[in-house]
Amino acid sequence: MPVILGLGSLIYFTLTSEPDLSYGFIFSIFGLIGMAVIRWRYPLQLNLYIFHCVVFLLGSGFCLAWLQTHRQEPFYRLPTHAATMKGKIRRIEILSSGKTRVLVHRVHFLSYPESEQKEWHRYIQITLFHTDHSQINVGDWIEVKAMLKHPFPPVRMASYDLQFHDWFKNIGAYGYAIAPINVIRKSDKTSIQLIREKIACRIRILLPGETGAIAQILLTGIDANLSQEKRHVFAVAGLAHLLAIAGLHLGTVMLIVGGTVRWLLLRSEYIALHWPVKMIALSIGWIAGCIYLFLTGFHLPAIRSLIMASLIVFAMSMDRRSLSMHNLMLAALMILIFSPSSIMNVSFQMSMAAVMAIIAGYGWGYDRFLKKSKNTCGLKNFFFYISEAAWISFLAGLAVCPIVMAHFHELNLYFILANLIAVPVTMFLIMPTGLLSLVTIGTGIDYYFLHLMAYGINLVINTARIVNDFPYAVIWVKDMPGWGLTCYFIGLCIICLCVTRLKSTGILLITIGIISCLWGKNPDLVTSADGQMIAIRRTGFIWVICQHGCNKYTIEGWKQYLGVSKVRIQFSHNHDRNILCKDFYCKLLDEHVLIILKKPENFFSQAEICHAMRLEISLLWEQRLCPDISFVDKEKNWVYGSHSIWLNSNKIKNDLSLRGNRPWVMEPIQRGIPNLPEALSE
């Protein structure tokens, strides 16, 4: 059910034009009526019943996605100048640079003409002034003067779509303060977010640096203080899942608390004989898991894990099989019903693929390889647990590898070795001492527990660094198309869920999905969405031209996409024999490409430089020098988004043609919808 329901939502989200709800409604009604008729008149026509069930689920997924999309507020119009606003702080983050970032809601502009707008229903994320050290807490009302921008479009075609995710996260703008904030009213209430911030502050005081940042993530879910370089080291080692609150952390918390309670209760002979010890331990462990989920901020993988854990606890209390595909199905179904956009979330995809592979593959491997080693003693028992951990890591890592390839263009080779060390350290040292530090926080004893936790975190960091230095620790792969990732997921579901000969079809679909990244060819030239940056792919590096400074985030995205590690910035001199740069232009001689950098005097009298050129790219606005060749300028980038160009085939594609005209898609030139009150009736 969740597979077909998610496929219906996926169809809606990948369309290039906004469809009408009636399409999904018709499919749902047709499938529902067909199911009822077949159930009533033709109960033996099982295949026909399954067909109508699939049609019903596809239509339902489509309708749920449409409804979630149209429940959201539009992107409001932003001021083009520094504006003064007031709002209530919802979240506070300390960045790795030392700056403070706040998420503000119930925003109302104080400066004219934006003061005519209604109160915002979307959040605004503001980075505070670098010298601003105001004492603020969650729930405080603040006044701030800031420059605002809408969520940025993708840095290239088919890359991470910030506008899509912010549409459903209810974030309407990003900005930076140009003056210290003014606290209008202090909060007189204690919220869970305020508790999280105070715990995070205590951790930062006792454990500064990257160790404290990771401890802060594991105990509060606040992750803004860890650098991208450190995250990449964990990703290359296959340990990125340790930095995202998910099933491993939640299960460890429930296991520690529940196991401790059970052990303590069994110390009493009377309690062991007369009380339902197992039920009490399971219930308290589940409550501890819920508290941990509240404390860490309800991350999507953790929500899925809690739903599954709740079903497992219920099954164990009823003496039924605890780990099954039915638990995963119910968890996925609940998430996709209440948040269909989760199907586009990378963490949701990786989480579901990993758990599905573990459930399907663990029993198969246990019966064939591990069963004989269980219930022995000494080294054989140790070998059993090591083999079990390796098999689980192998299943989870193998399942998420194609997803990592599709989204991050990387293939990690040593994830099993890294997880064999890092996962036991996390379960038996980091999380137990972290829980003890939470219980004793503020008493002074938490200092010792946090430093024990830091010792375990340093072991994991050193493991990630060592694995990161291995030869071929990460292999770059080409861009995987969306249909390739869909083929992989359908194939994985067939292999894990089917018990018939369809498994061979699943293997075929997985193979097609993985090798789909080999069919395409990366572009030779890429432009940014604002038309101020151009990247030319060369062997081992990219040559970047920037008009008003280079955006580091965009360059990193281009490096990952094009599979290079070095960047060369254009100056007045040449960088290779194929590039000729003059005062206001550069030429790619072999590719016959002309790049206009700035407008000289007597611009249109320079037409002789167009000789033998096949493509003109301009950093200017509506200034075309060569009328008879293909042309991309700043205006086209602003209107249609970033461009990807294949020079050999003379093919030009833009981001807007891929994302289409959807509610969450904002062209860079758009300003948004005015958030004005309704006119008074006469």
- What is the domain-level CATH number for residue 173? 2.40.50
How far, in Å, CA of 289 to CA of 539, rounded?
50
- Domain membership flag for residue 677: no
pLDDT for position 12: 94
Given 127, 155, 189, which residue is the final one in a domain?
Answer: 189
Pairing state of beta strands 566-569 and 541-546? Answer: parallel
Residue 556 has pLDDT above 70, yes or no: yes
Look at residues 189, 221, 247 and tell me which one is the last residue of a structural domain: 189
Task: Tell me: pLDDT of 92 over 80.
Answer: yes
Q: Are residues 465 and 487 in the same domain?
A: no
- Per-residue pLDDT of 158-200, as tens digits, reads 788 899 999 999 999 999 999 889 999 887 766 777 788 888 8
Closest alpha carbon to 78 in 50, 106, 46, 113: 113
> How far is residue 110's CA from residue 295's CA, in Å, rounded to a whole number?
34
3-class SS shares of the chain: helix, strand, coil, % to 5: 55, 15, 30
Q: Are 652 and 632 in contact (CB under 8 A)?
A: yes
- Which band of pLDDT confidence, cut at 50, 70 and 90, is reported for residue 576? low
Quote the tokens at residue 583: 């005062």
654, β-bridge pairs: 643
pLDDT above 60: residue 572:
no
What residues form DSSP beta bridges with 587? 580, 594
Question: Considering 71, 95, 122, which residue would you say is the last residue of a domain?
Answer: 71
Same domain (yes/no): 418, 553 = no
SS3 at position 275:
coil
Q: Which two tokens stand for residue 384?
A: 């059993």
Residue 194, domain member (yes or no): no
Quick one: how far is CA 364 from the chain centroid?
31
Residue type, 655: D
175: left (phi over 0), alpha (psi -120 to 50) or beta: beta
The dihedral of CA 58, 59, 60, 62: what is its sign?
positive
**Residue 50, Cα to own-chain centre: how many angstroms?**
34
**Reported pTM:** 0.84
In contact, 467 and 552? CB cutoff 8 Å: no
Question: Is 667 inside any structural domain?
Answer: no
- Give the whole-angstrom CA distance, residue 433 versus residue 451: 9
Judge whether 613 and 592 are in contact, CB under 8 Å.
Answer: yes
Which one-letter amino acid corresponds to residue 511? T
- Asked if residue 496 and residue 562 are part of one domain, the reply reads no
248, two tokens: 């491993």
Closest CA to 631 of 522, 521, 527: 527
Please tell me the predicted confidence (pLDDT) of residue 571. Answer: 57
136 and 232 both lie in a single domain = no
Q: For residue 232, which of 612, 568, 557 has the smallest C-alpha distance?
A: 557
540 near 518, Cβ under 8 Å? Answer: no
Query: Whats the size of the chain, residue-wise?
Result: 682
pLDDT for 302 equals 80
Q: Report the relative pairing of strands 182-185 and 123-127 from DSSP bridges.
A: unpaired
- Band (pLDDT 50/70/90 cuts) for residue 604 is low
Whole-number pLDDT of residue 53: 92
Residue 681 lies in a domain: no
CA distances from 387 to 421, 458, 642, 673 (A): 13, 25, 48, 58
Reported in sequence order, the residue ranges of 446-495 that DSSP labels E, i.e. its strands, are 474-476
**Residue 674 belongs to some domain of the structure:** no
Is the residue at 390 inside a domain? yes
The continuous run of DSSP H or E covering 271 comes out as helix 269-274
pLDDT of amino acid 374: 55
d(CA 302, CA 267): 33
Cα separation, 612 vs 604, whole angstroms: 17
Domain that holds residue 119: 83-189
User: pLDDT (tens digit, 9 = 90+) per residue, 609-649?
Assistant: 888 888 888 888 877 888 888 888 888 888 888 899 998 88
- At residue 15, the pLDDT reads 92
If you search the block for the tokens 């269909």, which residue do you land on?
340
pLDDT of residue 589: 79
Question: Which DSSP state fits 673?
Answer: B
Q: In sequence order, what are the residues at sequence separation of 6 or more whose Cβ sits closer than 8 angstroms to the Cβ of residue 412?
A: 235, 236, 237, 238, 397, 401, 404, 473, 474
Please check whether residues 334 and 463 belong to one and the same domain: yes
Residue 240 and residue 267 in contact, taking contact as beta carbons nearer than 8 Å: no
How does the average pLDDT of the chain come out, rounded?
85
**Best-predicted range by mean pLDDT (43-52, 68-77, 514-523):** 68-77
CA distance 617 to 154: 20
Across residues 468-492, what is the average pLDDT? 87
Strand pairing category for 141-149 and 83-94: antiparallel
- pLDDT band of residue 664 (cuts 50, 70, 90) is very high
The pLDDT > 70 percentage for the chain reads: 92
Handedness of CA 48, 51, 56, 59 (dihedral sign): negative
Is residue 461 located within the same domain as residue 598?
A: no
CA separation for the pair 272, 275 (Å, rounded): 6
What's the angle, vertex CA 260, arms to CA 254 and CA 262, rounded to 5? 95
CB 489 within 8 A of CB 349: yes
DSSP 8-state assignment for residue 469: T
DSSP three-state, residue 389: helix
The amino acid occupying position 457 is I
pLDDT at residue number 650: 82
Same domain, yes or no: 488 and 547:
no
- Whether the CB-CB separation of 183 and 136 falls below 8 Å is answered with yes
Same domain assignment for residues 317 and 456: yes
**Is pLDDT above 70 for 534?**
yes
Segment among 145-149, 157-161, 264-268, 669-673 with least mean pLDDT: 669-673
pLDDT band (50, 70, 90) for residue 574 = low
Number of domains in the chain: 5
Q: Decide the pairing of beta strands 525-527 and 474-476.
A: unpaired
Same domain, residue pair 277 and 396: yes
Shared domain for 294 and 433, answered yes or no, is yes
How much is the pLDDT for 2? 87
Task: Determine if the peptide bond prior to 74 is cis (ω within 30°).
Answer: no
DSSP state of 565: S
Average pLDDT over every residue of 675-681: 60
The CA distances from residue 639 to 80, 278, 556, 600, 621, in Å, are 18, 63, 23, 25, 12
Beta bridge partners of 586: 581, 595
Does residue 76 lie within any of the structural domains?
no
Q: Which two tokens stand for residue 225?
A: 């203080």
CA nearest 365: which of 392, 385, 383, 386? 392
Q: Say whether pLDDT at 670 is over 70.
A: no
One domain, residues 496 and 420: no
What pLDDT was estimated at residue 498?
82
- 513 falls within a domain: yes
| 67 and 116 belong to one structural domain | no
Please report where in the chains the tokens 């098999």 appear, as a residue: 391
322-326, 360-364, 591-595 — which one is most confidently predicted on average?
Answer: 591-595
- Distance between CA 536 and CA 542 in Å, rounded? 6
